[in-house]
């Protein structure tokens, strides 16, 4: 570069780029290449992420069509009827108890599922992580085995257990613990059981991943410094596997709150969740705008919950 | 003083007493006898070192004292009372772990405070003690650091402070210096001695480095293959090794054969293969007259100019200059290799050259008869 500058005359200036210009050009080139390489991923994100979302956003502000679909008349009706309903006699707006109870039930069942999978999954993951290395893969395989079959099939299998003449009632009747079948299926309880069963592996996997990295000598250090079992759990193990707990809770909570098959088959009328409510709008109720509005509302709720949750758990970690 | 394998003559109050401890891991074909009938008594305020090669059971003995393992047989007394039934968190014993095992989710100060918090000490006292400990290990400036941002030596200090903060009766240190480089290790050796002196806490220190053991300890137990081979002060261990293993493991040594012809208390007379007789120290256990092995340290022997004088005669194979001293490698007339270490004087030229013959004399009764 210094050489180029010291050569006088117009030829040098025209035929050679200065060093700065050359690097700038190279940089432009790599930047272009970067965008080209990103294109497939961006296309997927836009095509199957943002586009459909935009469509439901638009639909949610339209009126329902006569048979299905929408008619292009803008209105806030769908968003209003999310939680309110027009009284059929005096036309006043009132809270829509059915929708509100379904929304709360979804939230409650998703939280319950998350807490229960954490309570069952934590010792399970700890157990697997403390097995000799060669046994761990076998345990993980067995934990993930249910994933190999369809959720629908597994839920039908659950029905065989929970039905009035299912295995649980039959066994209890046989040993004389009860004298008439308990009502298990088509209750919130049945949905909770189904959800915990379906999502337990999603909790165990990330928990196991962080427990596997846990330095067990730290646990001994805790015991050595006068911490009893509970204190070691609270002060040493839980803070160290927190990333796994956060990941597991997110992985369980999100699909749980939007679940559809489990409440549909095990919940009956009393166990409907928001997923069923949405699907009803696109099916029998023929109210696509309302279905879109509920779907967006659910997404918004989950996002807010996540932001609060992640912010809290990282703040807690920063403060030790 | 005579070397002894058992450890009955302990005065002062006793901190830890291990009685006939055996520890077996696994079973059947995989059985490992990590400790085999080990008995040792450690006094209060003592800097006691377990020295031995890797795999000899040092860590296992510490883990038994800390409560992480349970003995297959035998028992451990702490200040005279049995602690076998106590879990680790109820034993007034703390450990400095080999890899420090600092809590990565806590700051330096939080690490040091941990044990005190678990003991349920009031906050003001905890803060006070943490401050004292930081001062003691010279880490005041780094109290709020995350432990991942510390150097090896600093982590070492935090581990020490954390283990000392609850004022345990006994501090167990498992090769705490082995991960440090040489310069830092020397520094920490001095630091550890100072800490032990200032706190008055009994230290049980584990190392496989014989020099570290000799320089730091009040007493040393030399271990091999799950057994304690000898217990004594560094000087006793060095000057009066009881067995071939101990003599070999600590310092450089010459082994020669001879015949014990008379014994009188702790000394005896040994006839060497050269026909010469030397006085020698005897081990505490009785040794029958007859063939024995002798240990003679290289610095306890001298060369004579007259190749026919001295108790041995031999040929010098090699001469190595070390600055402070010179090492002469000989083979004696009966074939035994023998090394003599002579201190150098300034500008003095050695008269003993490679290939020449020389006689070897032994100072006083520097020869030690071995049990094996
Ligand atoms: N948990 C264990 N299971 C099986 N064998 C063990 C266990 N801990 C130690 N050992 C064995 O016991 C012997 C002594 O080990 P250790 O006390 O760690 O020796 P050191 O600390 O002196 O190097 C070794 O042979 C080791 O393999
Ligand atoms: Mg060890």
Least confident of A23-27, A231-235, B221-225: A23-27
Contact check, Cβ <8 Å, B97/A231 = no
Pocket test for ligand 1, best of B18, B57, B99, B227 (most atoms within 8 A of CB): B57
Distance B45 CA to ligand 2 centre (A): 23
Say which CATH topology domain B5-245 has: Rossmann fold (3.40.50)
Q: Give the residue with greater pLDDT, B29 vs B66.
A: B66
- The answer to whether residue A277 scores a pLDDT higher than 90 is yes
Contact check, Cβ <8 Å, B94/A224 = yes
Interface contact A213, partner B, CB < 8 A? no
- Give per-residue pLDDT as tens, A50-74: 999 999 999 999 999 888 888 899 9
Q: What is the mean pLDDT of residues A7-33?
A: 71
Contact check, Cβ <8 Å, B99/A231 = no
- The answer to whether residue B150 scores a pLDDT higher than 90 is yes
- Return all residues near B299 (Cβ < 8 A) that are at least 6 apart: B325, B341
Q: What is the mean pLDDT of residues B92-108?
A: 94
Mean pLDDT, chain B, rounded, equals: 91
Contacts for B96-99: CB closer than 8 Å, 24+ residues apart: B96/B159, B96/B160, B96/B163, B96/B171, B96/B172, B96/B173, B96/B174, B96/B176, B97/A217, B97/A220, B97/A221, B97/B159, B97/B174, B98/B59, B98/B174, B98/B175, B98/B176, B98/B178, B98/B179, B99/A217, B99/B179
Strands B227-232 and A70-71: unpaired
| Structural domain spans, chain A | 10-59, 99-286
Residue among A215, A228, A239 minimizing CB distance to B89: A228
Mutate to test the interface with A, among B69, B113, B114 (most CBs of A within 10 A): B114
Question: What are the angstrom distances between the C-alpha of A102 and each of A99, A105, A117?
Answer: 5, 5, 22
CATH of domain A99-286: 1.10.3720.10
Interface contact A304, partner B, CB < 8 A? no
- Give per-residue pLDDT as tens, B230-277: 999 999 999 999 999 999 999 889 999 999 998 888 889 999 988 889
Q: What is the mean pLDDT of residues A294-310?
A: 91
Ligand 1 binding pocket includes B34 (Cβ within 6 Å) = yes
Residue A137 is predicted with a pLDDT of 92
Phi/psi of residue B362, each to 5°?
-120, 130
Pocket test for ligand 1, best of B34, B62, B70, B98 (most atoms within 8 A of CB): B34
In this structure, the residue with its CA closest to atom 24 of ligand 1 is B55
- Return all residues near A87 (Cβ < 8 A) that are at least 6 apart: A93, A94
State the CB neighbour count (10 A cutoff) for residue A177.
9
Rounded CA-CA distance B313/B306 in Å is 10
- The answer to whether residue B286 scores a pLDDT higher than 80 is no
C-alpha of B68 from chain center: 23
Residue A285 is predicted with a pLDDT of 87
Distance A226 CA to ligand 1 centre (A): 25
Ligand 1 binding pocket includes B208 (Cβ within 6 Å) = no
- Give per-residue pLDDT as tens, A240-258: 999 999 999 999 999 999 9
- The answer to whether residue B111 scores a pLDDT higher than 90 is yes
In this structure, the residue with its CA closest to atom 8 of ligand 1 is B60
Buried-state track B187-206, b at ≥16 Cβ within 10 A, e below 16 = ebbebbeebbeebebbbbbb
Over the Cα atoms of chain B, what is R_g?
24
- Residue A227: list chain B partners with CB under 8 A: 89, 114, 118
- If you write DSSP's letter for every residue of A281-301 in order, what string do you get? HHTTT--HHHHHHHHHHHHHH
Residue A15 is predicted with a pLDDT of 53
In CATH, what is the architecture of B252-370?
Answer: Beta Barrel (2.40)
- Give per-residue pLDDT as tens, B16-51: 999 999 999 998 888 999 999 999 999 999 999 999
Mean pLDDT, chain A, rounded, equals: 88
Please state the atom number of ligand 1 nearest to the C-alpha of residue B23: 12
C-alpha of B221 from chain center: 6
Rounded CA-CA distance B324/A152 in Å is 84
Strands B337-343 and B267-272: unpaired
Q: Give the residue with greater pLDDT, A315 vs A193.
A: A193
- The answer to whether residue A3 scores a pLDDT higher than 50 is no
Q: Using alpha carbons, select from A314, A294, A300, A282 the residue that is nearest to residue A68.
A: A282
- The answer to whether residue A11 scores a pLDDT higher than 60 is no
- % of chain B exceeding 90 in pLDDT: 70
Q: What is the mean pLDDT of residues B52-56?
A: 94
Strands B290-296 and B254-264: antiparallel
- Return all residues near A240 (Cβ < 8 A) that are at least 6 apart: A210, A214, A218, B104, B105
Phi/psi of residue A8, each to 5°?
-80, 170
End-to-end CA distance of chain A: 54
**Interface predicted TM-score of the whole assembly (ipTM), two decimals:** 0.85
Over the Cα atoms of chain A, what is R_g?
28
Which tokens is A217 given?
């000598």
Mutate to test the interface with A, among B103, B111, B126, B172 (most CBs of A within 10 A): B103
pLDDT class of A288 with cuts at 50, 70, 90: very high
Q: What is the mean pLDDT of residues A80-88?
A: 84
Where would I find the beta strands (DSSP E) of B44-181? Answer: 47-51, 73-78, 81-82, 93-96, 170-174
Q: Using alpha carbons, select from A103, A139, A112 the residue that is nearest to residue A211.
A: A139
- Return all residues near B350 (Cβ < 8 A) that are at least 6 apart: B319, B326, B342
Q: Using alpha carbons, select from A123, A87, A308 the residue that is nearest to residue A208.
A: A123
Ligand 1 binding pocket includes B57 (Cβ within 6 Å) = yes
- The answer to whether residue A1 scores a pLDDT higher than 80 is no
- Greatest mean pLDDT range, A284-298, B9-23, B104-118: B104-118
Helix axes A151-162, A188-212, angle to 10 degrees: 130
Residue A315 is predicted with a pLDDT of 67
Q: Are A69 and A289 in contact (CB under 8 A)?
A: no
- The answer to whether residue A174 scores a pLDDT higher than 60 is yes
Q: Are A39 and A27 in contact (CB under 8 A)?
A: no
| Structural domain spans, chain B | 5-245, 252-370
- % of chain B exceeding 70 in pLDDT: 97
Contact check, Cβ <8 Å, A227/B66 = no
In this structure, the residue with its CA closest to atom 16 of ligand 1 is B57
Pocket test for ligand 1, best of B21, B24, B36, B55 (most atoms within 8 A of CB): B55
Which tokens is A19 given?
């060093």
In this structure, the residue with its CA closest to atom 21 of ligand 1 is B59
For A221, name the nearest residue in chain B, comparing CA atoms only: B101
> What is the count of residue pairs from A and B with beta carbons less than 8 Å apart?
63
Ligand 1 binding pocket includes B60 (Cβ within 6 Å) = yes
Q: Using alpha carbons, select from B30, B36, B25 the residue that is nearest to residue B70.
A: B25
Ligand 1 binding pocket includes B53 (Cβ within 6 Å) = no
Residue B159 is predicted with a pLDDT of 95
| Sign of torsion over alpha carbons B12, B13, B19, B22 | negative
Which class for B233: exposed (0-12), middle (13-18), buried (19 or more C-beta within 10 A)? Answer: middle
Q: Are A71 and A64 in contact (CB under 8 A)?
A: yes
**Distance, in angstroms, between B66 CA and closest chain A CA?**
7
- Return all residues near A26 (Cβ < 8 A) that are at least 6 apart: none
pLDDT class of B178 with cuts at 50, 70, 90: confident
Residue among B88, B102, B110 minimizing CB distance to A223: B88
Q: Are B330 and B353 in contact (CB under 8 A)?
A: no
pLDDT class of A17 with cuts at 50, 70, 90: low
């Amino acid at each position: 570069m210094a050489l180029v500058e010291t050569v006088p005359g117009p030829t040098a200036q025209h035929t050679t780029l200065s060093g700065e210009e050359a690097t700038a050009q190279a940089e432009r080139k790599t930047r272009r290449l970067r965008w080209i390489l990103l294109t497939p991923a961006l296309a997927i994100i836009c095509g199957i992420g943002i586009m459909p979302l935009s469509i439901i956003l638009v639909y949610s502000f339209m009126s329902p069509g006569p048979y299905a679909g929408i008619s292009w008349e803008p209105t806030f009706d769908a968003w209003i009827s999310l939680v309110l309903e027009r009284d059929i006699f005096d036309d006043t707006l009132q809270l829509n108890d059915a929708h509100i109870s379904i929304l709360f039930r979804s939230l409650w069942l998703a939280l319950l599922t998350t807490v229960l999978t954490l309570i069952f999954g934590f010792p399970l993951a700890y157990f697997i992580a403390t097995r000799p290395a060669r046994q761990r893969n076998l345990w993980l395989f067995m934990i993930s085995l249910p994933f190999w079959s369809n959720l629908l099939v597994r839920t039908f299998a659950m029905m065989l257990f929970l039905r009035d003449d299912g295995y649980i009632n039959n066994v209890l009747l046989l040993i004389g613990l009860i004298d008439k079948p308990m009502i298990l299926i088509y209750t919130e309880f049945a949905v909770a059981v189904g959800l915990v069963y379906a999502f337990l592996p999603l909790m165990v996997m990330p928990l196991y991943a962080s427990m596997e990295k846990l330095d067990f000598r730290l646990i001994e250090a805790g015991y050595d410094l006068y911490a009893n079992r509970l204190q070691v759990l609270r002060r040493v193990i839980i803070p160290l596997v927190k990333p796994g707990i956060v990941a597991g809770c997110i992985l369980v909570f999100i699909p749980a709150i939007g679940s559809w098959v489990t409440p549909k088959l095990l919940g009956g009328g009393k166990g409907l969740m928001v997923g069923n409510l949405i699907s009803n709008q696109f099916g029998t109720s023929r109210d696509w705008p309302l279905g879109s509005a509920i779907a967006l509302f659910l997404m918004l709720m989950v996002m807010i919950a996540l932001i609060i949750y992640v912010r809290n758990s990282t703040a807690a970690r920063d403060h030790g | 003083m005579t070397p002894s394998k058992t450890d009955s003559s302990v005065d002062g109050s006793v901190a830890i007493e291990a009685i006939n401890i055996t520890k077996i891991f696994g079973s059947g074909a995989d059985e490992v006898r990590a400790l085999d009938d080990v008995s040792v008594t450690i006094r209060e305020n003592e800097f006691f070192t377990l020295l031995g090669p890797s795999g000899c059971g040092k860590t296992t003995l510490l883990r038994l004292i800390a409560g992480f393992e349970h003995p297959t047989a035998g028992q451990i007394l702490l200040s005279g009372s049995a602690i076998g039934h106590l879990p680790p968190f109820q034993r007034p014993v703390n450990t400095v772990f080999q890899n420090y095992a600092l809590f990565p989710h806590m700051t330096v100060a939080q690490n040091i405070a941990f044990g005190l918090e678990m003991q349920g000490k009031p906050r003001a006292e905890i803060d006070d003690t943490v401050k004292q400990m930081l001062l003691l290990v010279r880490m005041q400036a780094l109290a709020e650091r995350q432990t991942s941002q510390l150097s090896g030596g600093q982590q070492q200090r935090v581990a020490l402070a954390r283990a000392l903060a609850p004022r345990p009766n006994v501090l167990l240190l498992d090769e705490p210096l082995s991960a440090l480089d040489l310069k830092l290790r020397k520094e920490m050796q001095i630091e550890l001695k100072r800490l032990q002196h200032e706190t008055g806490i009994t230290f049980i220190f584990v190392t496989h480095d014989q020099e570290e053991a000799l320089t730091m300890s009040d007493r040393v137990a030399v271990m091999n293959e799950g057994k304690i081979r000898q217990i004594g002060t560094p000087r006793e261990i060095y000057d009066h090794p009881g067995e071939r293993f101990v003599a070999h493991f600590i310092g450089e040594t010459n082994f020669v054969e001879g015949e014990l012809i008379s014994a009188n208390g702790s000394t005896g007379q040994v006839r060497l293969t050269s026909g010469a007789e030397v006085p020698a120290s005897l081990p505490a256990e009785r040794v029958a007259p007859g063939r024995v092995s002798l240990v003679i340290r290289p610095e306890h022997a001298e060369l004579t100019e007259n190749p026919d004088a001295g108790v041995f005669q031999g040929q010098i194979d090699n001469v190595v200059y070390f600055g402070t001293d010179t090492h002469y490698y000989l083979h004696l007339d009966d074939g035994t290799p023998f090394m003599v270490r002579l201190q150098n004087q300034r500008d003095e030229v050695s008269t003993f050259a490679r290939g020449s013959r020389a006689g070897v004399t032994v100072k006083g009764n520097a020869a030690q008869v071995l049990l094996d």
